[in-house]
Amino acid sequence: MNRWKMISVALALAAVGPAHAESVDERIAASQEAIQDFAGTLQGHLMEAMQQGGPTEAISVCQQVAPQIAEDISAETGWSVGRTSLKLRNPDNAPDEWERAVLEHFEARRAQGVPASELAYHETVQEGDEEVFRFMRAIPTGSVCLTCHGSEVDGDIQHALERLYPEDQATGYSEGDVRGAFTIIQRM
């Protein structure tokens, strides 16, 4: 989604008071659009890095650019936007209790044959005194992802991962696995 359109959607959602709260469908659609923007922007940076410097350059994009994309979209929407996984590369992306349960649910659904690309979940939950809308969409492992997240990671890539992520757990994936998920929290 174009950033200006996303800002308009976020402002429209923010302008609606609790008595006139938008529908769940509108929240889901807005969350999907924010995730699409995140994924598309990140993918563009990753493809550019792969062309310019190969996989080791792409690793630095994931380390430096991906968090900035999440921060930018969070600032534009007023939501908390990020990525998380059960097998972490960046410990800053550790799932909270709710996210962990959803990721485990995604893994169970994937084991039942549901494609990772079809896995999404939303729920309105109470956090302290506040009600929030939470949304997650699985990140499927694509063939290009296996370069850095597969079972057999090349030596140069492995060295870069060890240097940037000494406690990396995010390898051993196969194509189609749930790599992690995009996660959104919208305050209500």
- Helix or strand run (H / E) with residue 136: strand 130-140
Pairing relationship of beta strands 178-187 and 130-140 according to DSSP bridges: antiparallel
Is the distance from CB of 46 to CB of 61 less than 8 angstroms? yes
- 188 vs 77, more confident: 77
Residues 149-154: contacts with CB within 8 Å, 24+ apart?
149/173, 149/179, 150/174, 154/55
Q: What percent of the chain has pLDDT over 90?
A: 78
Block residue for tokens 């359109």: 5
Inform me whether the pLDDT recorded for 16 exceeds 50.
no
Average pLDDT of span 10-25: 52
Distance CA 11, CA 159 (A): 44
Q: Which two tokens stand for residue 48?
A: 């550019």
Mean pLDDT across the chain, nearest whole number? 89
pLDDT in tens, 170-182: 999 999 999 999 9
In this prediction, residue 22 has a pLDDT band, given cuts at 50, 70 and 90, of: low
* Higher-pLDDT residue of 181, 144: 181
Q: Tell me what pLDDT residue 188 has.
A: 85
Please name the helix (run of DSSP H) or strand (run of DSSP E) that holds residue 124, with its range, or none. Answer: strand 120-127
Q: Above 70 in pLDDT, residue 4?
A: no
Q: Which of 184, 181, 185 is nearest to 83 (CA)?
A: 181
pLDDT at 92 over 50: yes
Residue type, 135: F
**What pLDDT does residue 78 have?**
95
**Rounded distance, CA 49 to CA 56, Å?**
9
Starting at the edge strand found earlier in the chain, the sheet holding 120-127 runs 80-84, 178-187, 130-140, 120-127
